[in-house]
Amino acid sequence: MGGALHAVDDAFEASVTPGPAVGHRPQSLLLSILGAVVLDTGLPPLPSSTLLDLLADLGVAEAAGRATLKRMTQRGLLGRTQVGRTAEYALTPLAQDVLREAEARVASAAPFSHPEGEWTLLSYSVPESRRDLRHRVRSRLTWAGFGGLRDGLWIAPGTVDVAAVLGRSDLAEAAGLADAFAARVLPGTDVGALVHRAWDVPAVRAAHTAFVETWGRPPRVSGSLAQLTLLGADWLALLRTDPGLPGSVLGEDWPAAASTATYRRVFDALEPAATAALHRALRAAGRTV
């Protein structure tokens, strides 16, 4: 199970990478739309043609799409069944659990907000010889909202469930090498300087600005289903970039609220049409919806 969890996290934790024209990994695109309009809806398994057509609309070649479906099945993210000559795919219980966990922040009304003054400090030490483990720990901490203050000392806004963050089976060794503390800032501490030291604040601001500008313009792709897929992938990338830095110390013009409002507005506009488009595709493939 640890390997499959790692594969799911890889999709969410990945930054924008070269690949399809839209700049996201095909696996990230599929998890985006499956989480948005398939998870917990009671829909039947999706024919491969439906998923491949969606990926094609997003610039993913058919061969790359088929390879992605195969990898996701091997990693335990999708269950594959055969109906005649057609392969069908459904989310596995493991993928459902992870997507539900992600949904708590994806759909939050204030995903970049934490109680004022709450911080989590984490100290860990991974032997130099275990670079593979060190990479997994750093990747997992980044997704959980941590920024590095100095070697082995990380900080995150809010109160983070570190036991859950490092509780994955493939991180068990690191969990035994880590100590976590709920922290508050003492008088005399320059919180703004601390935040700038732990995170690349200009890059975080730029990511928010790019998201607002991108989704305030005409869509990059045609079709509501493809647009919703891309919106979700962009939003997950932004959630990874900004763990919820305190706007109170970053200025009144900190753009997190604008990004959140943009996401909610565009999602609410696209979701009904995207769901209807998926239902039409399933009916055209002979599936009962």
Same domain? 105 vs 144: no
Nearest-Å Rg of the Cα atoms of the chain is: 20
Same domain? 41 vs 104: yes
User: Which domain range does residue 128 map to?
Assistant: 119-184
pLDDT band at 266 (very low <50, low <70, confident <90, very high): very high
For residue range 184-197, list pLDDT tens digits in order. Answer: 988 888 999 999 99
For residue range 77-121, list pLDDT tens digits in order. Answer: 999 999 888 899 999 998 898 898 888 889 999 999 988 889 999
Same domain? 101 vs 243: yes
Q: Is residue 253 in some structural domain?
A: yes
Q: Is residue 189 in some structural domain?
A: no
For residue range 36-50, list pLDDT tens digits in order. Answer: 999 999 999 999 999
Q: Is residue 54 in some structural domain?
A: yes
Q: Which of 90-94, 165-169, 238-242, 273-277 has the lowest mean pLDDT?
A: 165-169
Same domain? 215 vs 269: yes
Number of separate domains in the chain? 2
Same domain? 5 vs 86: yes
Q: State the CATH number of the domain containing residue 104.
A: 1.10.10.10
Reduced to 3 states (helix: H, G, I; strand: E, B; else coil), residue 120 is strand
Same domain? 123 vs 109: no
Q: Enter the tokens of residue 37.
A: 């309009």
Question: What stretches of the chain adopt beta strand conformation (E)?
Answer: 46-47, 78-83, 86-91, 119-124, 147-150, 153-157, 178-183
pLDDT band at 2 (very low <50, low <70, confident <90, very high): very low
Same domain? 70 vs 127: no
Share of the chain above pLDDT 90, in %: 59
pTM of the model: 0.86
Same domain? 236 vs 126: no
CA atoms within 13 A on the CB side of 176: 5
Q: Are 232 and 274 in contact (CB under 8 A)?
A: no
Q: Is residue 2 in some structural domain?
A: yes
Same domain? 137 vs 65: no
Q: What are phi and psi of 154, to 5 degrees?
A: -120, 155
